[in-house]
Chains A and B, each alone.
Chain A
Amino acid sequence: AQSVSQHNHHVILSEAASLELGCNYSYGGTVNLFWYVQYPGQHLQLLLKYFSGDPLVKGIKGFEAEFIKSKFSFNLRKPSVQWSDTAEYFCAVINTGGFKTIFGAGTRLFVKA
């Protein structure tokens, strides 16, 4: 069965620290990959996505992610976090065959000012 694993459930960082959130998926076929963010009290919104092409994708607010096909991974990175990055981060995978969206369990990031 398809699954998406986010390895870190809770992350606490100080401002200016670097961030890397892991995401691995299990599906052998073609996938579209997403990172969504949910700020406190708000709805989910897209941070970045990968469909094809350059495996290093850049998103909003200085976030980037790298798709490594051999590792079935799509890790999210940001060189220097800010207090306003405090949020829940979700990795999502859609297999382009069955069109089913699977979300990871989410990572709650808290950035200390």
Chain B
Amino acid sequence: DTAVSQTPKYLVTQMGNDKSIKCEQNLGHDTMYWYKQDSKKFLKIMFSYNNKELIINETVPNRFSPKSPDKAHLNLHINSLELGDSAVYFCASSQGLADTQYFGPGTRLTVL
């Protein structure tokens, strides 16, 4: 059983398009996150949600909009994709706000 799953695993798209990445966790956790990992492997938090409420919203362009339909899902929608959005996006979840995070396999986004 996959604990944190993301779809798709790879996403190749043109500049200007809109795309979504989905994340689901079956761990019963209350908190979910989105991270961006750039080409130098640097991991930066983008958003965190606790019980479907936005807790952390880092300095992310408003083209990025997270949506949490329920505690088990946190989707990321990106409008008007730019070249600089190319990265690996990781979803994660944790029981509490300061607990161990469990990461998904990542979605490699390539914007052409």
Using CB atoms and an 8 Å cutoff, list the residues of chain A in contact with chain B: 32, 34, 36, 38, 42-46, 49, 88, 90, 94, 96, 99-103, 105-106, 108
Q: Which 4 A-B pairs have the closest CB atoms?
A: A99-B97, A103-B43, A44-B103, A43-B103
Of A34, A38, A100, which contacts B100 at CB under 8 A? A34
CB A52 to nearest CB in B, in angstroms, measures 11
Task: Assess whether B44 is interfacial by the CB under 8 Å rule.
Answer: yes
Given the complex of chains A and B, what is the CA–CA distance between A106 and B43 in angstroms? 8
Q: Is the CB of A43 within 8 A of B43?
A: no
**Which residues of B (70-106) have their CB < 8 Å from a CB of A?**
90, 92, 97-106
List 9 other contacts, CB 8 Å, given A43-B106, A44-B90, A46-B100: A36-B103, A43-B103, A43-B105, A44-B92, A90-B43, A99-B97, A101-B33, A103-B42, A106-B41
User: Which residues from chain A contact B44 at a C-beta distance below 8 Å?
Assistant: 103
| Number of residues of chain B lying within 8 A (CB) of chain A | 23
Q: Give the shortest distance, in Å, between A86 (CB) and chain B (any CB).
A: 14
- Asked whether, in the complex, the Cβ of B41 is within 8 Å of the Cβ of A101, the reply is no
Residue of A nearest to B100 (CB): A46
> Which A residues are CB-close (under 8 A) to B56?
99-100
Q: Are B104 and A43 in contact (CB under 8 A)?
A: yes
